[in-house]
Structure 1
């Protein structure tokens, strides 16, 4: 079977036993270094993807992908029709009304909180709060029951538990013989949730929407919360809905309030990729050393090939095959080890914690107590491509030096 001469000789050099065993050692070290670098880069990228996905799911588990609210800030009278219009959009998977406002909660201690009035039957359409209940269920928030569900950190701050009472004071005033006083009402705690995010666990409380309307003297919800099929498609969907609603309602997305946070995570991931790519560059330097010593070792062979008619370009191709092959082997081993390590990393960390009795992410300090990992094919592809380009560039100078060998000078002392 026909093979190019450069590929044939390059592969023969790879399989043949070299006279200088040190070159073989450097070649093996180059493969190991490239494999370790690729493994480290894939693993770090997967861990950052895991943290990004975990934070995104926890934040978007409490907030909606988009909200439709009244420009006047008053209750929406025809919210049922607004829900129908929103759900008619093919990208909207669910819609649910809500009432939201600030309040002061009083118990053994006091603390401010965001109080959100919801419809328990419709809330699963737009959030995952129901799946994060530590005690109780959202179904206990029935109309006129004056029940409340608190975040775990908020309950600890107030010093209360399920079954206790809290006094809610809202910034709505009513006239009394003693003057204007803020509205307040006693609520019974029927549930506690834990999202794993300080913002919500320490500052969010849930009540029935009907109770929230009565306490805030509203005749309808503040707005409609929406869940989309693709959270990154929020802005185009918001523009479409804004065109339908005209100047009556405002449409906002999660990007308006949390875009900077996720942009920072994305930028950090890119910076880490660049920094860790330098490790690959250092590993490729071993490849340059190996090829330079190989060129010196094969001076006589190069001279003979030149006298037989091989062109400088052909000689250059022979030695580039050597470097590319070492890069391919290192990349293949690194991709395999990195993918396997990223896939089983959470379990490996748990085993290490159990064996050595250590805790890497203490739940008392961190809200994400397990090391997350999410392997993406795109990241593996970029790492493999970057490493291959580095390996290819590393072969150019040694191969060029080989192509510049003068046959007469190389054979003078042979």
Structure 2
């Protein structure tokens, strides 16, 4: 246990001006190193958290928490399946869909897309697309009118807007007197959505499910059933239960399975960044070692006098542990404050960097999102602060041990 005398001497050594200004400079560098390491580490972890959350929210705003399909065929009686799954208290909404592929063609420009046939009234129960509408609304999709809602990325790729007409070619053949021709249909753009995910904004089109069934020649039924649950993290467990209750001919899939590789990669990247950035703190801790070794050399006569006055080696060791720990604590506290400040203002920082250097930090076609917010987890801050403190503390042990081994007679010989 550190006594008041050891604490007093350690604090005095920390505050005192040094005969060797280089030692003071190294102490300053040690504090700045820990400050930068902790601040950058908290910011990076918060940005990674925000990136994962933004990506997850954007994905789940378009895709469903849980999907039910029928093995090798269409979900013919989706109405009865809907009644069964709606009896689960965890399920908050269910919507059928027809899914297909196609190419949009407008004045020679061609873009491959996924086509999703929906029932507008039910779609609101399982996705957030109704809140992502930039122009029009889901209710503008009416059966038999062949209207289409497209992502914002398709508007400029194909020069489309609400009221424009576009041809949809699907990968099904049509036999005509002129030979085999691909099937196509002319659609009117009745709305534009902006989901915040480039994958969907530039590659997804919504039409009414009845129109999709006509286009893709689905006699009855749907491609599958999309569900939303109260707690999205319960979706994997619920998928297993529904699969068991419905029988082997049905297949269930939840959002964690469909995007498992993506979210696993984000988690692994966060761990790697944590280890890499902690190395910055470790490097700064080596500066503490260097500082204390030089202080011990500079203060050998003081140590000898304290030993002569009866201060035991253990107390000498604690004096220098106090000094080194104060450097670590000061740098850690500054780093936590700086990291939190930077994390809370990361959007403004990114905007400033993009404006000054004229480049996009997060290209939407690469990172799938167009904006980034930090999400600060208290446990991350505690982990970083604790890790920095303990690294700084352990960095004091060797120099403090060397100080405790100073022999008074040898140190005072030339004084």
Q: TM-score, normalised by structure 2?
A: 0.88
Partner in structure 2 of residue 34 of structure 1: 34
Residues 65-115 of structure 1: CA deviation (Å, up to 9, x unaligned) = 2201111321331x2343343344344333222111223434423443211
Whether 1:326 and 2:327 are equivalent positions in the alignment is yes
Note the residue ranges of structure 1 that are not aligned, 5 or more in a row. none
State the 1:54 CA deviation: 2.4
Q: Summarize the alignment of residues 181-200 of structure 1 with structure 2, pairs less than 5 Å apart.
A: 184-200=184-200
Residues 302-352 of structure 1: CA deviation (Å, up to 9, x unaligned) = 233334444333322221111111101100011001101110121234356
Contact 1:361 1:370 in 2 (8 A): no
Contact 2:54 2:372 in 1 (8 A): no
State the 1:35 CA deviation: 0.9
Partner in structure 2 of residue 80 of structure 1: 79
CA separation of 1:279/1:257 partners in 2, compared to 1, >3 Å: closer, same or farther?
Answer: same
Whether 1:263 and 2:279 are equivalent positions in the alignment is no
Whether 1:11 and 2:19 are equivalent positions in the alignment is no
Q: Summarize the alignment of residues 29-108 of structure 1 with structure 2, pairs less than 5 Å apart.
A: 29-77=29-77, 79-108=78-107
Contact 1:75 1:218 in 2 (8 A): no
Partner in structure 1 of residue 396 of structure 2: 395
State the 1:258 CA deviation: 1.9
Contact 1:361 1:368 in 2 (8 A): no
Contact 2:130 2:138 in 1 (8 A): yes
State the 1:195 CA deviation: 2.7
Query: 1:280 aligns to what SS in structure 2?
Result: helix
Contact 2:49 2:375 in 1 (8 A): yes
Residues 184-233 of structure 1: CA deviation (Å, up to 9, x unaligned) = 43322111223343322232110112222233323122211122344443
Partner in structure 2 of residue 137 of structure 1: 137
Partner in structure 1 of residue 251 of structure 2: 250
Contact 2:289 2:396 in 1 (8 A): yes
Q: Distance in 1 between matches of 2:352 and 2:112?
A: 41
Q: Distance in 1 between matches of 2:136 and 2:320?
A: 70
Contact 1:108 1:160 in 2 (8 A): no
Q: Distance in 2 between matches of 1:285 and 1:249?
A: 60
Whether 1:281 and 2:262 are equivalent positions in the alignment is no
CA separation of 1:350/1:178 partners in 2, compared to 1, >3 Å: closer, same or farther?
Answer: closer
Q: Summarize the alignment of residues 291-306 of structure 1 with structure 2, pairs less than 5 Å apart.
A: 291-306=292-307
Q: Distance in 2 between matches of 1:337 and 1:68?
A: 47
Note the residue ranges of structure 2 that are not aligned, 5 or more in a row. none
Contact 2:199 2:365 in 1 (8 A): no
Q: Distance in 2 between matches of 1:305 and 1:90?
A: 73
Query: 1:168 aligns to what SS in structure 2?
Result: strand
Alignment RMSD (CA, Å)? 2.9
Query: 2:127 aligns to what SS in structure 1?
Result: coil
Q: TM-score, normalised by structure 1?
A: 0.88
Q: Distance in 2 between matches of 1:349 and 1:156?
A: 25
Q: Distance in 1 between matches of 2:310 and 2:90?
A: 67
Q: Distance in 1 between matches of 2:369 and 2:176?
A: 48
State the 1:157 CA deviation: 4.2
Q: Distance in 2 between matches of 1:198 and 1:360?
A: 15
Name whichever of 360-369 and 244-253 sits farther off: 360-369
State the 1:371 CA deviation: 4.5
Partner in structure 1 of residue 337 of structure 2: 336
Partner in structure 1 of residue 165 of structure 2: 165
Q: Distance in 2 between matches of 1:103 and 1:370?
A: 29
Name whichever of 308-317 and 96-105 sits farther off: 308-317
State the 1:117 CA deviation: 0.9
CA separation of 1:368/1:88 partners in 2, compared to 1, >3 Å: closer, same or farther?
Answer: same
